[in-house]
Amino acid sequence: MSFQTILDISQYIQVNTRKTVGQQYSRSGQVRTAEYLTAQPWIFTVKPHAYLYYPQVRSVIQAIDNLDRLTAGTLSFASSTLSWFASYQGALTAAQAAALTLASVPAANATTISVGNLPAVANTTVVFAPGDVLQLGSYPYKVATQVTRGAAATVSVTLHRPVIGTPSAGTLTAVGSACTWSVVAEVCPTYTLHPMTDGAWVEWASDFVFRENVQ
């Protein structure tokens, strides 16, 4: 579990999916902006739970030490305490959402994909709500704008970042809370043990920072 355990019992989670943007200001106060095309990796800053009892979490800490800042781990928001983060908010049933497909391979660095295998529902039915998460291959993406069923065989879905690599056409890897994130610990804090009766409580040196493992 390791990284996942830290996430599941965290005290807060900071999420960064922002673009890399440059700004210039003229002497008259005008602003010019420019976006630098990047993979926009997901970055999670996670405050670990304080006062963990070392004898109970020793195996978790060892699993974290095994991964360290070298090896990728997997994060999921499927637990009952975290499912709200990535839960699907469109109007399709779970089975209908799970059956959606990537209808065609998107162009390099495309931010719009074509989704097919749409169910026979009303044209006004919301297929994806803004902020819904879908996964192509190894990488999760947020849906940028609302997508309704319409009358066509496919719908266009705008993503929050360019598509990474060349995903295969076919059933989407996952939708909503079924999505997973491959991450590396950019910051993997050390810990201090404060002895108490028959054990010690764990004090972490800092927050964990998990950066998406973009290959």
CATH of the domain at 159: 2.40.30
Same-domain pairing of 122 and 56: no
| Span 19-40, average pLDDT | 92
Beta strand ranges found along 57-131 (DSSP E): 73-76, 101-102, 112-116, 126-128
The secondary element (H helix, E strand) that includes residue 98 is: helix 94-98
130-152 pLDDT, tens per residue? 999 999 999 999 999 999 999 99
| Span 196-215, average pLDDT | 96
Same-domain pairing of 190 and 148: no
How many domains in the chain? 2
Same-domain pairing of 192 and 128: no
How high is the pLDDT of residue 24? 94
Distance between CA 211 and CA 46 in Å, rounded?
11
Whether 85 is covered by a domain: the verdict is: no
Same-domain pairing of 145 and 188: no
Same-domain pairing of 170 and 102: yes
How high is the pLDDT of residue 40? 96
User: Given a cut of 70, is residue 6 above it in pLDDT?
Assistant: yes
| CB burial string 69-93: b at 16+ within 10 A, e below | eeebbebbbbeeebeebbebebbbe
| Span 17-29, average pLDDT | 93
Whether 88 is covered by a domain: the verdict is: no
Same-domain pairing of 171 and 185: no
Same-domain pairing of 52 and 19: yes
Band (pLDDT 50/70/90 cuts) for residue 8 is very high
User: Given a cut of 90, is residue 37 above it in pLDDT?
Assistant: no
Same-domain pairing of 168 and 207: no
Same-domain pairing of 146 and 196: no
User: Given a cut of 70, is residue 93 above it in pLDDT?
Assistant: yes
Domain assignment of residue 59, given as a range: 3-80+180-212
For the whole model, what pTM was predicted?
0.94
Band (pLDDT 50/70/90 cuts) for residue 1 is low
